[in-house]
Amino acid sequence: MTTPRAYEPGPETSCESQPSPTTVRSVEVAEFTAFYKDDVHALGVFLRSLGANATVATDIAADVMGEAYHQWSSIRMPRTWVRTVARRKYLRALFAVDLSGEVSDAVEADHGRDIADSVAPHVAACGLLARLPLRQRQVMAWHLDGYTPTETAQELQISPGAVRSSLAAARQALGDLLREGTEQ
């Protein structure tokens, strides 16, 4: 999951055969291109799972990918890197306070209910995810993206036990919501 990037200047490269800066750059561009094509949609899904609406998710994904491109040579685990940066960006936006001390309307509207608002007409199930508390959505987002509790714990800087606990609580809450829906 968090395997380092495929391309790294190999120690076996001799001084004589060292690629020129132009060659290295073109390799990096090719690497980034492959990574972008492979991951940008998944990054959007990750952000949506966190609670971002489609517009914000798309914007943040594009921003983060742009940053990744510019720092590509120093990023060892791009998949995790973009998710970490994206999560921070989203949280910063979520809790951003403008100069007058009010939460921006545009961002405030993102919180939670966005998933339900924009997706529920198509898939009612998505609305249930939006009703989870933020922490549970966070661990669920990493979980759905294929990260183990230990890896998620590292990224969120909490204990693996706390991740597992939040995941279990999230699943239990979803199960309860599903049952409620069925009973109604």
Binding to other proteins by residue 179, rule CB under 8 A? yes
Binding to other proteins by residue 55, rule CB under 8 A? yes
How far is Cα 3 from Cα 30, in angstroms, rounded to an integer?
A: 18
The full DSSP string for 42-94 is: HHHHHHHHHT--HHHHHHHHHHHHHHHHHTGGG-S-HHHHHHHHHHHHHHHHH
Residue type, 1: M
Instruction: Kindly tell me which of 14 and 165 has the beta carbon lying closer to other proteins.
Output: 165
Instruction: Kindly tell me which of 62 and 76 has the beta carbon lying closer to other proteins.
Output: 62
Q: Quick count: other Cβ atoms within 10 Å of Cβ 155?
A: 17
How far is Cα 10 from Cα 127, in angstroms, rounded to an integer?
A: 48
Instruction: State the minimum distance, in angstroms, from the CB of residue 74 to other proteins.
Output: 16
Report the site for other proteins in 14-53 (rule: CB under 8 A).
26, 29, 32-33, 36-37, 40-42, 44-45, 48-49
Residue 169 has which token pair? 């609580």
Q: Which residues bind other proteins (CB under 8 A)?
A: 26, 29, 32-33, 36-37, 40-42, 44-45, 48-49, 54-59, 61-63, 65-66, 69-70, 96-100, 102, 104-107, 119, 122-123, 125-126, 128-129, 140, 144, 165, 168-169, 171-172, 174-176, 178-179
